[in-house]
Amino acid sequence: MVLLGSGIYIMISLESAKNEFNNKLVEVLRKTPPSIRECTSYLSKSLGKNLRGNCILIVASDENQFVHEDAINLAVAIELFHLATLVHDDIIDDSPKRRGMDSLQSRFDKKTAVICGDYILAMAIELALKVDIKDEYKKYSLANYAKSVCLGELMQDTNLFNYNLSLKRYLTIIRGKTAALFEAAFVSGAIVLGEPKSNVDLYKNIGRYIGMIFQMSDDCMDYELTQAESNKPVLSDIAKGVITLPLIYAMKKNETIREKLEQGYDKNILAREIINFGGVEFTKAFSDRYYDKSIVCLDKLEISSEKYTMIKNVLDVAARR
């Protein structure tokens, strides 16, 4: 334990913090009130890699790889919020599966899933408010990032089947719906660590860039991988009218793609055309720009080689999904 300001705060090793974070995330989902416990317990069996929460812990770690206890609550909060968005996404998309299991709305029903998603969101807010750094966190609060996610999703929805979607609008959409939570994770960790504003801004940029890379990689996977490889439906974006960068670029290179989309198409044939006209290749190259910008910011931070490597590993995971 260490004394900071007017109170005593517990600092624990990064590895212990990661274990406590994973255990607490499962625990809060399995110890909800009986009326909703069946749903939340079911979700606890299909958690992903918890990448955003782990980002908070990594960034919050000091030079000795110890982490302030507040980082754990924030890590759980951000993963709960992310989980709530996935539950709601599956309802909107009528998705039967999530991470190889029945989606919540498929396992139970849509009404139950909506209520469960709302409840999980409330738990996330409750945990985020428990931290002792509330004053410093106000400017970059999870609530503000949550609004960005919602606006990004809404902007995407209002642009479904909009084959005139610009590159600028596409980037605005994914900065909200995907990059916002990665940015929130990096900012949260930096604030818990007590970093000066200049460093918080650097971490903020890295988080946003990683989120942009993450989404662009996902957009490429939709065209490149089989369903077995990606563990989720493929070519789903094009079928649902979600306009992503591979499609935007391919339409620019070949006008007939737009015509085929408007007149009806075989999505498998169209997907091959999007690849053949460089849509995926261009998206990867565009993503590489964010990778390079992330490294520039990372190099400006005076951090240990161990922490540098951990953050770069997250960056590589996003880029090579």
Q: How far apart are CA 221 and CA 284, in angstroms?
A: 11
CA distance 110 to 118: 12
Task: Report in angstroms the alpha-carbon separations of 188 from 71, 133, 145, 169.
Answer: 8, 10, 11, 27
Structure confidence at residue 99 as a pLDDT band (50, 70, 90): confident
Average pLDDT, the chain: 90
- How do residues 34-67 score in pLDDT, each as one tens digit? 999 999 999 999 898 999 999 999 999 999 999 9
What percentage of the chain reaches a pLDDT higher than 70? Answer: 92
Output the pLDDT for position 320.
Answer: 86
Strand, coil or helix: what is 12? Answer: strand
End-to-end CA distance of the chain: 38
pLDDT(7) > 60: no
273-277: average pLDDT: 93
Q: What is the pLDDT of residue 225?
A: 63
Binning pLDDT at 50, 70 and 90, where does residue 278 land? very high
Lowest average pLDDT, out of 108-112, 254-258, 292-296, goes to 254-258
CB-CB contact of 59 with 200 (8 Å): no
The pLDDT of residue 103? 94
Please identify which residue in the block is written with the tokens 């890699």: 49
103-112, 227-236, 272-281, 295-304: least confidently modelled range: 227-236
SS3 of 26, please? Answer: helix
